[in-house]
């Protein structure tokens, strides 16, 4: 791929025909100090892609986006690390929403806490972030991003979809990757300049916000209305009595489907 129209994100681009997992590859290259802030690893095929909660992430060889973006934050306390999940989710949201504009009557694109990207109720992209913490600070972060672009055989079990399935069109993966890097750079710039507008954008885009959702709290069915996410990344939910409580991912999740 030619050089990207960005300042930092993707200026160091490592394009691989096939790799086990771009996240693992990024971690190895980071440890060897062969890559730095803004480096992007792009694999055309992933043979051992990893998802959240120890799941595997399947993608079609030459069809989808499997990429990892390396960040070396200058001053990010560990207890504020969720900001990176927000930035990644917003950037992925924006490129997916832009691609969806090509669809007639395209469904809304939302962020399912913490950082899945859904079209209506169907998952089109996932994010897996690995942060390295030293003395209470995030010293490096690998944002692993998988976007189902042109695949058409997807796991019905996970209610997955792709841009092609949603729009009926084949999409240019490299153009989408460039857009993704530009949106990441945009949100990182906002964050670094102290501009807080992206926090409310994330809140506004939360899937199921203000509506009762089927959740699982400590493994038990639980119904409540997601209202926001706090600075630590906990989901704020309002129960039927109007009480708002914050729960971390370890305790709360959306029930499947
Ligand atoms: C999820 O479970 O929703 C997260 C999926 C993350 C997949 C991406 S693909 C690129 C990067 N490499 C991996 O092994 N996983 C992430």
The reported pLDDT for the residue numbered 257 is 53
Instruction: Decide whether any atom of ligand 1 lies within 6 Å of the 64 Cβ.
Output: no
Ligand 1 geometric centre to CA of 128 (Å):
5
Report if pTM > 0.95. Answer: yes
Q: Would you place residue 256 in the very low, low, confident or very high pLDDT band (cuts 50, 70, 90)? A: confident
Instruction: Decide whether any atom of ligand 1 lies within 6 Å of the 66 Cβ.
Output: yes
Average pLDDT over residues 108-121: 95
Instruction: Decide whether any atom of ligand 1 lies within 6 Å of the 57 Cβ.
Output: yes
CB atoms within 10 A of CB 251: 15
pLDDT digits (tens, 9 = 90+) for 146-178: 999 999 987 666 789 999 999 999 999 999 999
Q: Would you place residue 206 in the very low, low, confident or very high pLDDT band (cuts 50, 70, 90)? A: very high
Instruction: Decide whether any atom of ligand 1 lies within 6 Å of the 128 Cβ.
Output: yes
Instruction: Decide whether any atom of ligand 1 lies within 6 Å of the 50 Cβ.
Output: yes
Give percent of the chain with pLDDT exceeding 70.
Answer: 98
Average pLDDT over residues 207-235: 96
The reported pLDDT for the residue numbered 102 is 80
User: What does pLDDT average to over the chain?
Assistant: 95
The reported pLDDT for the residue numbered 177 is 98
Residues 6+ apart with CB under 8 A from 134: none
Atom of ligand 1 nearest to the CA of 50: 14
């Amino acid at each position: 791929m030619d050089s990207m129209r960005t300042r930092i994100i993707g200026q160091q681009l490592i394009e691989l025909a096939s790799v086990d997992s771009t996240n693992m590859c990024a971690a190895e290259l980071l440890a060897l100090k062969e890559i730095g802030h803004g480096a992007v690893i792009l694999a055309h095929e992933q043979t051992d892609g990893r998802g959240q909660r120890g799941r595997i992430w399947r993608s079609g060889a030459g069809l989808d986006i499997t990429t990892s973006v390396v960040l070396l934050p200058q001053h990010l306390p560990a207890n504020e690390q969720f900001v990176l999940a927000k930035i990644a989710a917003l950037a992925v949201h924006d490129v997916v929403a832009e691609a969806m504009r090509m669809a007639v009557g395209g469904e809304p694109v939302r962020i399912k806490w913490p950082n899945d990207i859904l079209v209506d109720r169907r998952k089109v992209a996932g994010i897996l972030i690995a942060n390295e913490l030293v003395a209470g600070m995030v010293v490096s972060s690998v944002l692993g991003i998988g976007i189902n672009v042109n695949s058409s055989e997807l796991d019905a079990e996970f209610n997955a979809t792709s841009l092609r399935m949603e729009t009926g069109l084949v999409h240019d993966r490299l153009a989408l990757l460039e857009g993704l890097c530009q949106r990441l750079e945009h949100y990182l710039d906002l964050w670094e300049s102290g501009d807080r507008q992206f926090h409310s954008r994330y809140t506004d885009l939360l899937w199921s916000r203000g509506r009762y959702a089927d959740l699982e709290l400590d493994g038990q069915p639980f119904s409540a209305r997601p209202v926001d996410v706090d600075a630590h990344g906990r989901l704020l939910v309002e129960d039927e009595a109007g009480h708002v409580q914050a729960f971390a991912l370890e305790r709360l999740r959306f029930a499947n489907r």
